Chain A
Amino acid sequence: MFETLFSDPTVQFIAFSTVKILVVFGVVMTFVAYAVLVERKVSAFIQDRVGPNRTAPPFVMKIPVIGPFLVRCGIFQPMADGLKFILKEDFTPDYVRKVYFWLAPAIAVIPAFLTLAVIPFGSQLSAGPGAQKMVIADLNVGILYTFGIVSLGVYGIVLAGWSSNSKYPFLGGIRSSAQMISYELAMGMSVVAVFLVVGDLNLGKIVRFQAEHGWMILYQPVAFLLFLVSAFAETNRLPFDMPESESELVGGYHTEYSSMKFALFFLGEYANMIASSAMMVTLFLGGWSLPFLGEPAGSLWGGLLHLGIFVAKMLVMLVVFIWVRWMLPRFRYDQLMDLGWRRFIPLALANIVVTALVLALVDGWGKGT
């Protein structure tokens, strides 16, 4: 019975997709939790502090050597944090616009996860025609989908700012809309150059191209830089955390939120970071490939190795995100807009033109004119 059911390609597709979705979701959620821990530890170390080093379930301290070490690393802190968020009082102020107030956290967090659908995490887990690609949705318009979804993320923040019906969140919301729109342009234009080089929008094919010809960062360093900086702006990370800016806007758009609703914004921010890191790795840093490991995997172990490479690269990018946060002060709002509109967009446009010219020349050369 199962045999016949599973030979049906539709059923197979659904089954594999479900598994992939569940695994990716689970892994990303874990990453989010531990990214917060890494953030706290790294910030502590940079500021000569020790960071979370106390949380311990009752039995752990009994384990010799390893137990205290794990506790010192703060391994159990994310669990305690999660528990705390769930148990906290979920307070909805009286003066908010209720429907939107409840909707906003969800709108903020969903796009972050949706973008992960098109990221190719690895090549494949086995050889042959039946091999499953390690991507949830192998779209031909992958990157367009990503940009479409990512721009939805801003609505969560804007809605939160507006529906909170008080000053600070409102200012945060306004800032975020202006900032997101400006940097989305620069971001979108920076990747155009990448597509000019590769000639395809499918992210899987972009990774294949890089596996064969070398990483995109070598061809498009300017585009990479633009994308990196725009990614900071898009994920609301310092130095571009205008919508939040604790020191001037209390908490910006999430001032009025508490408990799990606040946690959702928090989660969204880190999920966004993970998605942007994954995107950067895919577009510029060769995805799952290494210079000497370019072939799609032929076996289970090869596939897992590719997965590992991808995750490792992603973690490096995450650490860069965190590192930069504890180094740079926040930009002033007008400097931010200035940087976006008067520096990045012209630079991105110039990059596109130059890339196109060079490609045309190389092409003309190849044809022997």
Chain B
Amino acid sequence: MTKVVDRKPLSFYERTYVPALWEGLKVTARHFKRSVQGHNTAKELGEGYYPEVPWRVSEGYRGAPYLVRDQDGHTKCVSCQLCEFVCPPKAIRITPPGPDGPPADRPNAEKMPREFEINMLRCIFCGLCQEVCPEEAIFLEDHYSLTGLTREEMVFDKERLLKLGGVHAGTQKWKNKLEEAAAQESFPVATH
């Protein structure tokens, strides 16, 4: 159903712009008065100001991308380099282990990266790396305040990314796969 909005032609008085102006002045003056009297939004919400009271990061916020470990503390990344490929500003650089590099530290993985660098100065926090990663190994977490004194300092290496990322036990791809596989053993498949 269409709703017809009745647009009345403006009267001459309204077209002089004066009533709109007057209303505008009233609105801004009201807010000004409120602020001068000491009201402020942050206080009324029971929060403080940024440097002292850190900002409350909401669920699903896309902060800095970090590598995560699985529930057993193993590196999840398998050095497939999809994230490196998809990253629009080319912020990620991965050094794969090569044919005789160190083996992965967990089952279900053939390899893990020798080095994994994210240049946080290039990163645009788009989240494509998280979306593309087949191993759920990289997540945009809630860090929003990244500072450094040099450019080099802002290139985060694997150690640092893993440390900052922490353990991410939320999504457990391989555990789910195992359960699925186990479920398939007992035919007919149990449907959820």
Verify that A and B bind, or say they do not.
yes
- Name the distance in Å between B39's Cβ and chain A's nearest Cβ: 8
Docked Cα-Cα span, A24 to B54, in Å, equals: 45
Docked Cα-Cα span, A308 to B39, in Å, equals: 32
Q: Is the CB of A323 within 8 A of B28?
A: yes
Q: Is B150 an interface residue (CB 8 A)?
A: no
Residue of B nearest to A323 (CB): B28
Q: Is B32 an interface residue (CB 8 A)?
A: yes
Q: Is the CB of A48 within 8 A of B28?
A: no
Q: Is B82 an interface residue (CB 8 A)?
A: no
Docked Cα-Cα span, A328 to B23, in Å, equals: 11
Q: Is B36 an interface residue (CB 8 A)?
A: yes
> DSSP majority for the B interface?
helix
Q: Is the CB of A323 within 8 A of B31?
A: no
Contact code string A231-262 (vs B, CB < 8 Å = 1, else 0): 00000000000000000000000000000000
Q: Is B95 an interface residue (CB 8 A)?
A: no
Q: Which residue of A46, A48, A323, A328 is within 8 Å of B40 (Cβ)?
A: A48
- Name the distance in Å between B26's Cβ and chain A's nearest Cβ: 10
Residue of B nearest to A44 (CB): B35
Known: A45-B31, A46-B32, A46-B35. A323 touches B25 (CB 8 A): yes
> DSSP majority for the A interface?
loop
Q: Is the CB of A326 within 8 A of B28?
A: yes
Q: Is A327 an interface residue (CB 8 A)?
A: yes
Q: Is B11 an interface residue (CB 8 A)?
A: no
Q: Is B34 an interface residue (CB 8 A)?
A: yes
Known: A44-B35, A45-B35. A50 touches B40 (CB 8 A): yes
Docked Cα-Cα span, A122 to B36, in Å, equals: 32
Contact code string A296-331 (vs B, CB < 8 Å = 1, else 0): 000000000000000000000000000100111000
Contacts of A44 on B, CB cut-off 8 Å? 35
- Name the distance in Å between B24's Cβ and chain A's nearest Cβ: 4
Known: A48-B40, A48-B41, A50-B40. A42 touches B24 (CB 8 A): no
Q: Is the CB of A42 within 8 A of B32?
A: yes
Q: Is the CB of B28 within 8 A of A46?
A: yes
Q: Is the CB of B31 within 8 A of A327?
A: no
3 shortest interchain CB distances as A-B pairs: A45-B35, A327-B24, A327-B28
What 7 additional pairs, Cβ within 8 angstroms, besides A45-B35, A327-B27, A328-B21? A46-B31, A47-B31, A48-B31, A323-B25, A323-B28, A326-B28, A327-B21
B residues with a Cβ closer than 8 A to A are 21, 24-25, 27-29, 31-32, 34-36, 39-42, 49
